Amino acid sequence: METPLQFMLARPDPRESSCVPGEVQIATVQRSKARAERNYGRADALHKKVIEAGYRVINIQNDEILARKYRIQLRGIDAPESAMPYGKEAREELANLVQGKCLRIFVYGEDRYGRCVGDIYSNGIFVQEIMLKKGLAWHYTAYDQRWELETWEKEARAKRVGLWASPNPEKPWEWRKDRREGR
């Protein structure tokens, strides 16, 4: 009898599962068998191997799902760095918006740091919209010309919310450039 994880791996979704390295698929199936046999030492060792490869086995409604951690750059916005004013608030708001939620991510490419660039919807809410409306990000016009992002930033500026409460907030891309140049 196949476990749900074995079923998923035996009939992979070509959009993602076919990209999972064979050794990760094998380790995951072996881990599932070891757990069924109550061989938890072996199961833990196999789980460690899966984690070291950048994957996780998570349990959702009694089904084991193989998941991969992705780094995602929110398309069209740039938030303050943690050391900048409103940096911690931006990070906390983003965590509140996405952590533990059902996410829908539309990936449009990859940036020079290997991150996926995309739009994120959290339980149907457009994350970039919230970040802009709360004044916790800039519309990054150098990479994205969507008028709605510009509108949401202008609304936040007009209301002087978040980082727009400051008379002249520093742009994160300029802040990063200054740090690289040692200013």
CATH number for the domain whose boundaries are 72-180:
2.40.50.90
> In the prediction, which pLDDT does 152 show?
97
> In the prediction, which pLDDT does 183 show?
65
* Angstrom distances, CA of residue 65 to CA of 5, 32, 38, 135: 6, 11, 19, 36
Question: Which regions in the chain score pLDDT beneath 50?
Answer: 1-12
> In the prediction, which pLDDT does 156 show?
97
Domain boundaries of the chain, sorted by first residue: 4-68, 72-180
